[in-house]
């Protein structure tokens, strides 16, 4: 297992992109009361930075999904925490996730929000991975598009470690 020496995406690039996304979101959701639904744990770091750029009537809810063991997707998505229905019903919702890979997590999370009666669900991901999708999911807002590599840092983990790295690194599991 080997962490890349240099970050794939450094702190300054992340901060600049988060600011740009914030500006775009403020414009796109002007006048409509917005709820941001954050997928724990990985998206908490990205969301905390992004939320600093959003209007103060923005509501924040958390969801917890788990579909991953190690570096291989297990194929099932379970929810351990869901948003309060009154924060979702009839409102525009921005679903915030760390990374889009097979699409299973976002597909299941969006279905939960639609089930709670969201008026509209848009998806914002920090990273969009060039990996085969299992579910047809397209993110409306993307921080960075990356190759099909395993990345850690800025909230993203490998077996619950590496989340605290301030930038995004690649992790090779079987170095040769
Ligand atoms: P999906 O459901 O789209 O296959 O996967 C999304 C979830 O898988 C993310 O929330 C994240 O937890 C995990 N994941 C996918 N790719 C990576 C990666 O490169 N690094 C890390 N740390 N997690 C990933
Ligand atoms: Mg995750």
Ligand 2 centre distance from Cα of residue 6 (Å): 23
pLDDT tens for 43-55 read: 999 999 999 999 9
pTM above 0.85, yes or no: yes
**Tokens matching residue 48:** 């905390």
pLDDT tens for 1-11 read: 899 999 999 99
Distance of CA 153 to the CA centre of its chain: 13
| Atom number, ligand 1, closest to the C-alpha of residue 157 | 22
Ranges assigned E (strand) in 11-135 = 34-40, 59-69, 72-81, 92-100, 120-129
Tell me the three-class secondary structure of 114-136, residue by residue: HHCCECEEEEEEEEEECCCCCCC
Ligand located closest to 125 CA? 1
Minimum CA distance residue for ligand 1 atom 23: 156
């Amino acid at each position: 297992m080997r962490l890349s020496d240099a970050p794939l995406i450094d702190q300054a690039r992340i901060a600049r992109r988060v600011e740009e996304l914030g500006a775009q979101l403020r414009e796109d959701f002007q006048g409509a009361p917005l709820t941001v639904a954050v997928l724990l744990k990985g998206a908490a770091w990205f969301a905390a930075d992004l939320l600093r750029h959003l209007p103060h009537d923005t509501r924040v809810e958390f969801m917890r999904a788990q579909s991953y063991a190690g570096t291989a997707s297990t194929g099932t998505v379970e929810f351990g925490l869901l948003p309060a229905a009154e924060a979702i019903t009839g409102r525009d919702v921005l679903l915030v996730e760390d990374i889009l890979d097979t699409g299973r997590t976002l597909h299941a999370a969006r279905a939960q929000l639609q089930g709670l009666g969201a008026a509209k669900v848009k998806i914002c991901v920090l990273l969009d991975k060039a990996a085969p999708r299992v579910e047809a999911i397209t993110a409306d807002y993307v921080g960075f598009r990356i190759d099909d590599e395993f990345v850690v840092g800025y909230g993203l983990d490998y077996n619950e470690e590496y989340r605290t790295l301030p930038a995004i690194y690649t992790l090779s599991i079987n170095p040769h």
